[in-house]
Structure 1
Amino acid sequence: MKMMERLETFLVLAECGSFTEAAKKLFCSQPTISHHIQKLEEQFGAPLFIRTGRTAQLTRQGEIFLDYAKQIEQTMLQAGSAIESSMKTESSIVSVYVSQYFANYYFDEILPTLHASDPPYRLEINAYCYEALKQALVDRKTDWAIMPYYPDDDFIRSDFAVHALFEDEFMLVLPPEHVLMNRKTIYARDLQGATVLLPRSPFLIRSLQKEMDRHGLRVQYLQMSNFEVIKQAVKSGLGAAFLPYRAIRKELEAEELTAKRLPFFGYLRQNGVLVRKGARFTAEEQAFFERLRPHFDEGAPAGRSAFS
């Protein structure tokens, strides 16, 4: 810092040619000007100015140093500009942590819209299963995430505010040729003893089993890695499943799977932006959420930010 102050003093004095004027421009005393020049001359072992009273004229050595001093000043300005630009670029990047489910079944519609915005969002997308996403929150890799919310998850309930985006309705999914699909209404007794395929998600398993137990359903459970594997297993006749409509939309359109709403089964899973209590967010993060919310029928009231 001292070197840069001395460099600035040298440039101003060379321009003014007067210790008095240099002191006025730099808002300091004349002895300070003299001290800075003296230290530079000691460093180079050569006189930089010829002093005549309160005036100062560059020596030959001073003229040589002037060229380099101007280059140093210009380089510092360029460096400052480059650093500022870099910080603006980095601050405009939004690091998004989302559930694998959300990334798989919603981003195909949402990302093109975000990319087409002015200016376009620069997103770093981190998609994980529920447990891995929760661990990222525990480790404070992020203060917010777009993910399912399970009321019996004590950590999430105590440390995070939930800003709802949408609810998943879980429907009975079967292969098209299954005999139950010819029924106008499917009752609980029709599923007794059936094999039900579940994803390897402890909270989701517990929620689905609780709903089935509520209606006295006695079924056999098989666990699969995720919704995609479960869909393939249902197509192959390995069992039935309860899946959200969004996860099976394409298969329904292609008539590869069929689904029915059951009058007795009403499990709805809430999804939203989970925000660490007391956390602060960048303007880019807030703007991202405001852009995200209109994609869903349900959410925070209009004009209210999930990050406020």
Structure 2
Amino acid sequence: MNNNYELYKVFYWAAKTGSLTQAAKALYITQPSVSHAIKQLEDSFGIILFYRNSKGVELTQEGEILYSYIEQSQILITLAEEKMAALKNLDSGELRIGGSDSLFKHYLLPYLESYHQKYPGVRLHLNHGTTPEIISFLKEGVIDLGVVRMPIVDPQLEVRESIQLQDCFVAGSRFAELKDVVISIDALLQHPVILFSRNSRARMAITELFQSRGYHLKPEIEVGSVDLLIEFARRGLGISYITREFVSKELEEGSLFEVQLDIQLPPSHVGIMIMRNMPLSSSASKFIELVR
């Protein structure tokens, strides 16, 4: 039993066109090659598949049965080729990204918007979670990319792209006396400080920085979302520690201002993580290019 796909392809075109010459043209091969392929197929089955006639060739009863199967497979192969071309050109497919709510809303949204406009055929799936959850999603194959705060040390993962963000203290009009002046940590701690409640990377970094200077950073208010960090600061409930890029709109319109400290605050990095040694889908590669 010969399972050579090329022979079936020749058989399909000969049966479809009813002509060895037409089959040769469709396949860009010579007519003797077509005749030889059909003879090989007939020999392998021990069955005559075509009658020769004055117009060309006609299927025998057995040939008709084979054709009914081969035709289906050929349609599926053509569909598969079209699907692959569509995926390559990003007419279809999906992009699965994991990240925190705040990164999606305040950082990734413009990129996702541009991507969706550029490739409207690609379905977007956003998986929200903490950094450990995002890493699990990546390892389980639930997402193509994870967008997380660095550093991440894991031999199974690699950082494909890293973006630098800057955390800062912000306040609203209630603390207007702090605007446009540089203050010390002592002066800052005279006021209520608002921090993110979860033990986030940003919170750990600022706590360590203050500790290294001999200060204990104890927030007066802890909140569970970036939106509340922004809202509480705007309403004058305290001074929030937040990523500057997440409050660019508020800083621009003046509902918040940055509180300048006399020490350098550490920048933070966000990495686009992928599984090491795993091929990236076209949709994921294009997204990384867009962010770059």
Whether these two folds match at TM > 0.5 is yes
Residue type matched to 1:242 in 2?
A: Y
Amino acid at match of 1:267: P
Counterpart residue number, 2:215: 217
The number of equivalent residue pairs is 265
Matched, 1:149 2:147: no
Q: Secondary structure at the match of 1:124?
A: strand
Instruction: Give the alignment of 1:120-269 within 5 angstroms.
Output: 122-131=122-131, 132-142=133-143, 144-150=145-151, 153-155=152-154, 158-182=155-179, 184-192=181-189, 194-199=191-196, 200-221=198-219, 222-269=221-268
Residue type matched to 2:149 in 1? P
Secondary structure of the 1:78 match is helix
* CA gap 1:265/1:176 in 2 versus in 1, 3 angstroms: farther
Q: 1:209, CA displacement in angstroms?
A: 0.9
- Asked if residue 28 in structure 1 is aligned to residue 17 in structure 2, the reply is no
Q: CA contact under 8 A between 1:162 and 1:274: conserved in structure 2?
A: yes
Alpha carbons of structure 1 residues 21 and 256: separation in structure 2 relative to 1, 3 Å: closer
The DSSP-based 3-state class of the residue aligned with 2:47 is helix
Question: Which residue does 1:86 correspond to in 2?
Answer: 83
Preserved contact between residue 179 and residue 258 of structure 2 (Cα < 8 Å): no
Within 2, Cα distance between the matches of 1:96 and 1:261?
Answer: 38
Deviation of 1:104 after TM superposition, in Å, equals 0.9
* 1:124-161 Cα distance to aligned partner (Å, 9 max, x none): 242424333233134343453232213xx444xx4433
- Distance across 1 between alignment mates of 2:79 and 2:41: 33
- Structure-1 separation of matches of 2:39 and 2:145: 48
Q: Which runs of 5+ in 2 are unaligned?
A: 21-31
Partner Cα distance (2:181, 2:199) in 1: 32
Contact 1:167 1:270 survives alignment (8 Å):
yes
Q: For the residues of structure 2 that align with 1:184 and 1:30, how far apart are their CA atoms?
A: 91
| Ranges in structure 1 where 5+ consecutive residues have no aligned partner | 41-47, 50-54, 294-308
**Matched letter for residue 251 of structure 2:** L
Q: Is the 8 A contact 1:215 1:264 kept in 2?
A: no
**Does the CA contact (< 8 Å) of 2:158 and 2:275 recur in 1?**
yes
CA RMSD of aligned residues (A): 4.0
CA drift at 1:212: 2.0
Answer whether contact 1:11 1:69 (CA < 8 A) is retained: no
C-alpha displacement at 1:178, in angstroms?
1.0
Measured in 2, the distance between the counterparts of 1:66 and 1:110 equals 55
SS at match of 1:271: strand
Equivalent residue of 1:177, what SS? Answer: helix
Q: 1:73 to 1:241 in 2, by over 3 A?
A: same
Residue 98 of structure 1 deviates from its aligned partner by 4.1
Larger Rg: 1
SS of residue paired to 2:146: strand
Question: SS of 2:251's equivalent?
Answer: helix
How big is the shift at 1:273?
Answer: 1.9
Q: Is the 8 A contact 1:164 1:270 kept in 2?
A: no
- Check conservation: 2:192, 2:239, Cα contact below 8 A: yes
Q: Does the 8 Å CA contact 2:169/2:259 hold for their aligned counterparts?
A: yes
Identity of matched residues, %? 12
Distance, in Å, in 2 between the alignment partners of 1:124 and 1:115 is 8
Give 2:95's aligned residue: 95
Give the alignment's TM-score, normalised by structure 1.
0.67
Paired with 1:21 and 1:87, the residues of 2 have a C-alpha distance of: 29
TM-score calculated relative to the size of structure 2: 0.70
How far did residue 168 of structure 1 move?
1.5
